[in-house]
Chains A and B, each alone.
Chain A
Amino acid sequence: MISLAGRDIMHAWGKFVFTGLGLGLLIGVTLSMAGIYRGMVDDAKVLLDNSGADLWVVQKDTLGPYAESSSLYEDTWRPLRGLPGVARVARVTYLTMQVRQGRREVRAMVTGIEAGGPGTPGWPPYLVAGRQITRGHYEAVVDLATGFALGDRLEIRRNQYTVVGLTRRMVSSGGDPMVFIPLKDAQEAQFLKNNEAILQQRRRTAENPSYNRPQVPGLLEAVIASQSSNPSVNAVLVQIAAGHDPQELAERIRRWQRLTVYTRGQMEEILVGKLIATSARQIGMFLVILSVVSAAIVAFIIYTLTLGKIREIAVLKLIGTRNRTIAAMIIQQAIALGGIGFVVGKITATLLMAPIFPKYVLLEPLDSVRGFVAVLVICVLSSLIAVRAALRVDPAEAIGG
């Protein structure tokens, strides 16, 4: 027996190829959407991995520092350092903001890191070029995704920074590339007021009789100095010594320091479960919509092709073709269409979408397999309308009136 589906496809190959192309672009977008979600999850994990922390100590009752703002007195770290099981402690600030270089502006997550050495929590674990920050001020290590190069001079708020090192795949959970600067500078950038505001605050403070007391010289200066310094950080990162249980230590800090502490697992839960949950839902919606649209296209084209063959189907039935054979012909065509679409879609996603998309697109092989199965299921289900129409054809129609 010859393949009726195959022959029909070869006969009407133009229709199949062009519909397959259109379907393929849709499938490509669908695969890319899944890839974007995977990329976001991966970005979140990379962010946590690269921070080098085992515990995140943040402002009480906040989901900081990535999902909510959190601010801690900068000396919060001191008592933590002495706890048994704590290997290293480092303060960090995170702030997503515009970083300028000449006329160019990049949205980046500016991270303030403490002086120290590689391995200090918060530090980029490895560089692809240049060196780590060594001075206390005005040096920056940036991610390649910012597009900045070694030696570039960046502007963050009012200060200028020189790029001394480059990282790769250091991004925030929102996909913004990271820019590392010294902690002091970062605190200033986060809490810095403009000159106008400083002047006004000074004036207001000076006018306040309780601060400006002639009989207490130096009080006003002290008050103003404390107002303009920034003793806050967003989080304290804690590395745990080998052999100690993070849960236990976290519990101890929570109880004694009245702070909120997250373990790596809880942090991942916050990033994946809360921070990117909305994006994930949006992507999920898109996946559903794209699947429905793909199904509609397959159903429509297969139905149209089948309606165009009603007469032939009546003849086939009259000369003794099994219903099974006719149904198989239609389903095979739908599968062929899905196959073409999947190949085109996979190519589109891999060669076109993933490289040029502004977000990290992680195409997991398992997702492709799932996608392929979904495409086949959708194609088979969508062809059932056409199959039903074909099976209803009365062989008597071939004889006519």
Chain B
Amino acid sequence: MDGGGIRIQGLQKSYGSGDTAVQALKGVDMRVDPGEVVGLIGPSGSGKSTLLKCLGAVIEPSAGRMTLGEEVIYDDGWRVGDLRALRRDRIGFIFQAPYLIPFLDVTDNVALPPMLAGRSNFEARQRARELLQALDVEHRARAMPAQLSGGEQQRVAIARGLVNQPPVVLADEPTAPLDSQRALGVIRILNEMAGKFRTAIIVVTHDEKIIPTFKRIYHIRDGVTYEEEGEGRAPV
């Protein structure tokens, strides 16, 4: 699907300056289409988290170009005024640990992003319930995060990442704390959601178990990406 999803061209990022400067990203090219889940793998220190932070608009790249859908968001400088609103409305985040807000119940954890976006409490909770239903944790809607199992927490976190139906979802090792069955379950959910909401999803992972499930994988090494097409990849 041309014209949607994520485009990254020649993205660079260096930390610090002078002698101590670290060139974390040297030239990253990536394309993720709407409805597609791609894997991003690479050794430690290769720049995976740095790439997600650039894409997530929490750190500023040094050079290059990033496009979300039709809109250029970065072209040797930010092209969007309100990065906070960009994150809130157009990017979903899923972390290695669920990082739920401990003092909000499951429903309100998921309803928080739409509330922040200005939806009414009622509408936000309505949406949250739909997502919880889709992720099969609706029965825990009134529970507090601490009362959930690790897998349930992670599903709630995924619901929170998807609830605003962002065109882009960034997942940083979302399956790290899970056993292989649950890990595969999470990937299946991400694929379903990508299909349902036409979301472009990038999954950073080290996890051998889930690597075969991606149709496309980007390898990153020393700040440079290499694309690998799936050859009859394992069914999800």
**Which residue of B52, B84, B88, B172 has the most chain A CB atoms within 10 A of its CB atom?**
B84
Interface size on B, residues (CB 8 A): 30
- List B residues at the A interface (Cβ < 8 Å): 49, 52-53, 56, 58-59, 84-85, 87-89, 93, 95-96, 99, 101-104, 108, 112-113, 115-117, 121, 144, 160, 170, 172
Cβ contact of A312, chosen from B58, B85, B99, B144, cutoff 8 A: B99
**Which residue of B93, B96, B108, B170 has the most chain A CB atoms within 10 A of its CB atom?**
B93
Question: Is the CB–CB distance between A320 and B85 below 8 Å?
Answer: yes
- List 9 interface pairs A-B (beta carbons < 8 Å), by A numbering: A1-B116, A2-B112, A4-B103, A316-B112, A319-B116, A320-B87, A321-B116, A396-B58, A399-B172
* Shortest 3 CB-CB contacts between residues of A and residues of B: A320-B88, A11-B103, A396-B58
Question: Is the CB–CB distance between B116 and A320 below 8 Å?
Answer: yes
Q: How far is the CB of B195 from chain A (nearest CB, A)?
A: 23
On whether A1 and B58 interact (CB within 8 A), knowing A12-B103, A318-B93, A319-B93, the answer reads no
Q: How far is the CB of B200 from chain A (nearest CB, A)?
A: 18
Q: A322 — nearest CB in chain B belongs to which residue?
A: B84
Question: Is the CB–CB distance between A315 and B58 below 8 Å?
Answer: no
Q: B115 — nearest CB in chain A belongs to which residue?
A: A1
In A311-365, which residues have CB < 8 Å from any B CB?
311-312, 315-322, 325
- List A residues at the B interface (Cβ < 8 Å): 1-2, 4, 7-8, 10-12, 311-312, 315-322, 325, 394-396, 398-401
A401 partner residues in chain B, CB cutoff 8 A: 49
The CA-CA distance from A312 to B103 in the complex, in Å, is 10
B49 partner residues in chain A, CB cutoff 8 A: 399-401
Add 14 more A-B contacts to A4-B104, A316-B101 (CB < 8 A).
Answer: A1-B116, A2-B121, A312-B101, A318-B56, A318-B87, A319-B93, A319-B112, A320-B88, A394-B58, A396-B56, A396-B59, A399-B49, A400-B95, A401-B49
A396 partner residues in chain B, CB cutoff 8 A: 53, 56, 58-59
Cβ contact of A399, chosen from B53, B85, B160, cutoff 8 A: B53
The CA-CA distance from A11 to B100 in the complex, in Å, is 14
A12 partner residues in chain B, CB cutoff 8 A: 103
On whether A315 and B52 interact (CB within 8 A), knowing A2-B108, A399-B172, the answer reads no
Question: Is the CB–CB distance between B108 and A7 below 8 Å?
Answer: yes
Q: How far is the CB of A162 from chain B (nearest CB, A)?
A: 70
